[in-house]
Chains A and B, each alone.
Chain A
Amino acid sequence: MLRKKVCLVGYGSTEYSRKSDRPLLSYYAEAMQNAMAQTGLTKKEINGFSMVTQASPDYSPYVAEQLGLELDWVLNGDCGGAGAVCAIRRAADAIEAGYLDVAFIVAGNAFDKNVSHQRVLEYQRANYVDVYGYGGPNTLFALVQRRHMEEYGTTLEQIGKIAVSQRFNAGPNPQALLRTPMTIEDYLNSRLISDPIRLFDCVMPCSGGECVVVASEERAKQITDKPIYLVTDAEKIGFQASNMLPDKTVTGMSVVGEHLFSEMSRDNIDLLAIYDDYPIAVMMQLEDLGYCAKGQGGPFVDDHDLTFAGDFPVNTGGGEISVGQAGLAGGMLHVVEALRQLRGEAGERQVNAAQTALVTGIGWLSYARNLNTTAALILERRS
């Protein structure tokens, strides 16, 4: 389905930090303040609010009350790393239905001592995975990556090129926590965490926040002279959920990609913001989105320059593996980077004539499978 009248009209970010005792709400408030400053919107013009987080046990209406928001629409985004993209889709639905015209969507993470982060793990993870002494997502992605390497001959050099290119992209990004140049040797020599996943495959947890503002076209034109249109969007939750022998190297993004590109060409995309908790996740998504055949992600990466100046720009601000992953703000980071690029606000890392961007979100690994949640948006600047 093509969206007609929904725009992303602004964004706000906070600084990222590895050590901070700021509460999560202060990151939300700062990201929202920055988005309000950019858009010129006042509190009373905000009639929709969604938060995307794992770090807070709060309910969204309670957080809205804390922030003094009176609303016509509220949502707690709950699709893990795909939560930011999914929350934007839900807001777009509600705007098209006429329930509201301006939604602020925040995401963030904080190491807030006053809040317990130890959520009760779902029964499946607790009874059937944790008991074996696994290493969290590092091990779950390792199980996937080994299959990919053995089935298709994918090399560490090919997977590492994604991490190295993204580190290059982070160089001019002041928000990124990891900006020192990295070579493929640095990547290969980084210590093994859960073989074949090594340190430089892993995102670094941090504090921080992001906000984007979604509005109806009518309001968008009043708010900004650079509205970015939501062109089309899709999600797949629970791909292969009932299959006891699924292909572990395929994700729900294969279905998402079919929806996205049924009405427009992949070649129209100028830059990709691909959810990158691990480089192997980026490679699988490129395959599943149809940029190359399944298993050909390695040769595809070999053949392209993934930097902001290259022929196939991916994660032009460094992505989560170089910026840091502020919890589920990791998913929002990609939306904000796409907005910066499409609005021509990316500074030294600006992609030349960027007009159309693809943003993905992925979350959670299902038992002995691959991603549980996958979602994507296509955004476009229209002049």
Chain B
Amino acid sequence: MAGKSLPAVNEIDREFWEGAAKGELRLQRCRACGKMQFFPRIACTDCLSGDLEWVPVSGKGKVHTFSLCRVPRNRAFMDEVPIYVAEVELDEGVRMVTRIVGDDRDQVTLGAPVTVTFMETEDPDIKLPVFELA
């Protein structure tokens, strides 16, 4: 049986995953217009400049929405259900699809403040940014 899904790291997002492996959340910022964006792309979604830099961010934000997933698309995740899939709005003004983790995750509400943490995966080189209630 296939394992849990892992990112296929590529030239666009290598810096994101390298940062995550070191416990650092990084976002793309456009050097031309200053826009922050997520997910990582080849160009700025405002001005189409390819001159993008990677900046470490606070890892703080609030829960925009969430769902308790009981039937994951990849059944290898069944041992973790219900999975608290969420969208977190970072203080830097982007939203990320992620997970809420921690023993108190069942207390999650919309607007709850959260802080990033990094979750081990089946690949020792890959850590996933996830969030805990602050």
CB distance from B96 to the nearest CB of A (A): 7
- The count of residues in chain A whose C-beta lies closer than 8 Å to any C-beta of chain B is 34
In this assembly, does A62 line the interface, its C-beta being within 8 Å of a C-beta of chain B?
no
CB distance from A190 to the nearest CB of B (A): 12
Kindly identify which residue among B39, B68, B83, B95 contacts A132, using a CB–CB cutoff of 8 Å: B83
Contact A138 B85 (CB under 8 A): no
Which A-chain residue is minimally distant from B41 (CB atoms)? A124
CB distance from B29 to the nearest CB of A (A): 12
In this assembly, does A347 line the interface, its C-beta being within 8 Å of a C-beta of chain B?
no
From residue 141 to 170 of chain A, which have CB atoms closer than 8 A to chain B?
A: 142-144, 146-147, 150
Most buried by B among A123, A126, A133, A196: A133
Contact B65 A195 (CB under 8 A): no
**A146 vs B132: C-alpha distance when bound (angstroms):** 20
A-contact 0/1 string along B10-54, CB 8 Å cutoff = 101100000000000000000000011111000001100000000
Contact A134 B36 (CB under 8 A): no
**A133 vs B65: C-alpha distance when bound (angstroms):** 16
**A5 vs B80: C-alpha distance when bound (angstroms):** 57
Contact A135 B72 (CB under 8 A): yes
Which B-chain residue is minimally distant from A195 (CB atoms)? B68
In this assembly, does A367 line the interface, its C-beta being within 8 Å of a C-beta of chain B?
yes
From residue 56 to 101 of chain B, which have CB atoms closer than 8 A to chain A?
A: 64-74, 77, 80-83, 85-87, 89, 93-99
Residues of B within 8 A of A195 (CB): 67-70, 82
Contact B39 A134 (CB under 8 A): no
In this assembly, does A194 line the interface, its C-beta being within 8 Å of a C-beta of chain B?
yes
CB distance from A298 to the nearest CB of B (A): 17
- Asked if A132 meets B89 with Cβ closer than 8 Å, knowing A127-B39, A146-B110, the reply is no
Q: A134-B69, A143-B67, A245-B93 known; 8 other A-B pairs, CB under 8 Å?
A: A123-B12, A126-B5, A126-B7, A135-B67, A135-B73, A142-B85, A143-B86, A194-B70
The 3 closest A-B pairs by CB, nearest first: A133-B77, A142-B67, A127-B7
Interface on A for B, CB 8 Å cutoff? Answer: 123-124, 126-136, 138-139, 142-144, 146-147, 150, 192-197, 241-242, 244-245, 248, 367-368
- Between-chain CB contacts (< 8 Å), 25 pairs: A123-B12, A126-B7, A127-B7, A127-B13, A130-B5, A132-B83, A132-B130, A135-B69, A135-B71, A135-B73, A139-B67, A139-B85, A144-B65, A147-B64, A192-B68, A192-B70, A193-B70, A194-B67, A194-B71, A196-B67, A241-B45, A244-B38, A244-B94, A244-B95, A368-B87
